[in-house]
């Protein structure tokens, strides 16, 4: 292998990673823009997974880049409706999937509590008619 072929290979990898990040960023930007359009509270916009390498906060949203560049996400308050208080957990035979749902519901309830307990801007409050109002 020549030095030129190694440099071209490295350049190709870098261009691929940048293209992947742009694609992921635009995809997540679509989620972010519609969440903000419908007044859902968004606490995080991130490219990558793991602990934040670089981030800044503008308004109520923290924007960041993370080291595992295999995707991205936004964190909207109230992605799952919390279980009504005092209501027992439904008995399911779905095993670990039921546990995942319960954990996600608990995390959603904690996120709403961290937002001051006001769930008026929670994702689960959206209705089908939200687009027309």
Indicate which residues carry an active-site annotation.
28
Q: What does the pLDDT look like over 52-70, one tens digit per residue?
A: 999 999 998 999 999 998 8
**What is the predicted pLDDT for the residue at 12?**
97
Residue 78 has pLDDT above 80, yes or no: yes
- CA gap 110, 45 in Å, rounded: 19
Q: Taking residues 109-125, report their average pLDDT.
A: 80
Residues 84-114 pLDDT 10s: 665 555 555 667 777 787 888 888 888 787 7
Q: Answer with the residue of higher pLDDT: 133 or 119.
A: 119
- Residues in CB range of 133: below 8 A, 6 or more apart: none
CA proximity to 77, closest of 27, 49, 33, 117: 117
- Beta bridge pairs of residue 57: 62
User: What confidence score (pLDDT) does residue 6 get?
Assistant: 95
> What is the value of pTM for the model shown?
0.74
Q: Using alpha carbons, list the distances in angstroms from residue 30 to 34, 45, 85, 109.
A: 6, 11, 34, 25
Q: Is the pLDDT of residue 132 over 60?
A: no
Q: Which long-range contacts (CB under 8 A, 24 or more apart) does 32-35 make?
A: 32/61, 32/74, 35/74, 35/76, 35/123
19-50 pLDDT, tens per residue?
A: 998 999 999 999 999 999 999 989 899 999 99
């Amino acid at each position: 292998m020549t030095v030129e072929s190694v440099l071209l290979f490295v350049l190709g990898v870098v261009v691929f990673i940048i293209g992947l990040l742009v694609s992921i960023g635009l995809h997540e930007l679509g989620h972010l823009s519609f969440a903000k359009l419908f007044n859902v509270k968004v606490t995080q916009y991130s490219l990558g997974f793991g602990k934040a390498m670089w981030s800044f906060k503008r308004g109520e949203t923290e924007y960041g880049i993370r080291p595992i560049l295999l995707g991205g996400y936004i964190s909207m308050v109230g992605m799952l409706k919390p279980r009504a208080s005092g209501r027992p957990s439904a008995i399911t035979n779905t095993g670990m999937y039921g546990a995942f749902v319960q954990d996600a519901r608990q995390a959603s309830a904690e996120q709403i509590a961290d937002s001051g307990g006001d769930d008026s801007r929670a994702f689960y409050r959206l209705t089908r008619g939200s687009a027309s109002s």
